[in-house]
Amino acid sequence: MKTKKTFLLFLKLILLTSAYNLSAQKIRTQTDTIGFAQYKWQMDSIFSRMADDDKLQTDEIYKAVISPHDDYSYAAGLYNKTLAGIKANTIILVGVAHKARNFDLQDKIIFGSYQKWKSPYGNIEVSPIREKLIQKLPPQDFMVHDSMIQTEHALEAITPFLSKNNPDIEIVPLLVPYMKYSDMRQFAGDLAGALYQIMQEENLQYGKDVAVVISTDAIHYGDEDWGGSNLARYGTDSLGTAKARQKDLDISKELLSGTIDNEKIKDFTKATVQEKNYKEYKWTWCGRYSVPFGLLLANNLNLLLDGNPLYGKKIDYRSSIHNPHIEVKDIGMGTTAPANTHHWVGYVGMAYE
């Protein structure tokens, strides 16, 4: 009888331990399985079909980048070319919160509680640095919202390229919903300060050990399939399309390139967000919050660690209608939106050192 009780207690302990482990290892699953690869063989096919120039490696080490997050058929080459200079093992991922309105989220950094993220090359670990940051941040700066993290596609688009380049990466994913510029400055400064402390304590180097990856697509343009909105400010003929593309190029050159400072970042916000209503677009970059927040974070961190601002350069600018597409239908993938003069998206790759 005693042996039976001991066995039952032992079995109960095993079950409780297993349940705890399953809970502790909560995995974020993939949201978009059409535009993005969900299997290793799909990613391998995508890589094999990229232009040769997009497959080139680089010896440069980027401290931060801005990367697209649209369908791989349209933008995979630019992902890879942009992320090639990310050599760090720990990546702070700064993403768009496209569906923040659905959850009534605003004015806070959004973290999740997932311990792993599913990816074609195997589950990606969430870095312990996330919890250390959360402990150091003022409570009013952030919230933990797993539903928003699970619903959002802007970061899961990037992780397969990072994990292919470095199977040992760990990530700190965060999303930036509707946010006033003043709050972005405050929260990004707090986050940079907390990350600086952790990096000093753990002897981590910016670029070599820790890097920042910011997710955004550039202009969303056209007069069809935008939920009833007409986003074609200059019209959809060749002249209008050229004007929209040129404005994107000007934004990239004037506000995201060269020596980075708060005025440039603020001017980017002024260019993309309505001054009277910070929740409304002025120029339709979905990263109208993730870009300024991510650059404030990345630049503040560099000022704390190095005493100097970051310097940005353009890797490339592309769009869903100005560049060749990668064939994906035969590998079980597709596109989540059309690509024509009535509906197209721009992409920019930027690197910061």
pLDDT tens digit sequence for 301-319: 999 999 999 999 999 999 9
Task: Tell me the two tokens of residue 171.
Answer: 């990530």
Angle between helices 72-83 and 40-49 (to 10 degrees): 80
Q: What is the pLDDT of residue 178?
A: 98
Residues 200-231: pLDDT tens digits?
A: 999 999 999 999 999 999 999 999 999 999 99
Domain 31-352 -> CATH class: alpha beta
pLDDT at 74 > cutoff 80: yes
Task: Name the pLDDT band for 16 (thresholds 50, 70, 90).
Answer: very low
Task: Tell me the two tokens of residue 144.
Answer: 């933990």
Q: What is the pLDDT of residue 88?
A: 98
Average the pLDDT over each of 9-18, 205-214, 227-236, 251-260 and give the range with the smallest value.
Answer: 9-18
Q: What is the pLDDT of residue 11?
A: 42
Q: What is the pLDDT of residue 183?
A: 98
Task: Name the pLDDT band for 277 (thresholds 50, 70, 90).
Answer: very high
Contacts of 173 (CB under 8 A, 6+ apart): 93, 95, 111, 112, 117, 126, 130, 149, 155
Q: What is the pLDDT of residue 271?
A: 98
Domain-wise residue ranges, the chain = 31-352
Q: What is the pLDDT of residue 23?
A: 44
Q: What is the pLDDT of residue 126?
A: 98
Task: Tell me the two tokens of residue 333.
Answer: 């993938």
Q: What is the pLDDT of residue 3?
A: 52
Burial (0-12, 13-18, 19+ Cβ within 10 Å), 93: buried
Q: What is the pLDDT of residue 22?
A: 39
Chain centroid to Cα 93, Å, comes to: 5
Q: Are 288 and 272 in contact (CB under 8 A)?
A: yes
d(CA 190, CA 200): 15
Q: What is the pLDDT of residue 24?
A: 53
What integer best gives the mean pLDDT of the chain? 94
d(CA 80, CA 264): 26
Q: What is the pLDDT of residue 20?
A: 42
Find the Cα–Cα–Cα–Cα dihedral 285, 289, 292, 296, rounded to 10°. -160
Q: What is the pLDDT of residue 14?
A: 47
pLDDT at 12 > cutoff 50: no
Q: What is the pLDDT of residue 15?
A: 41
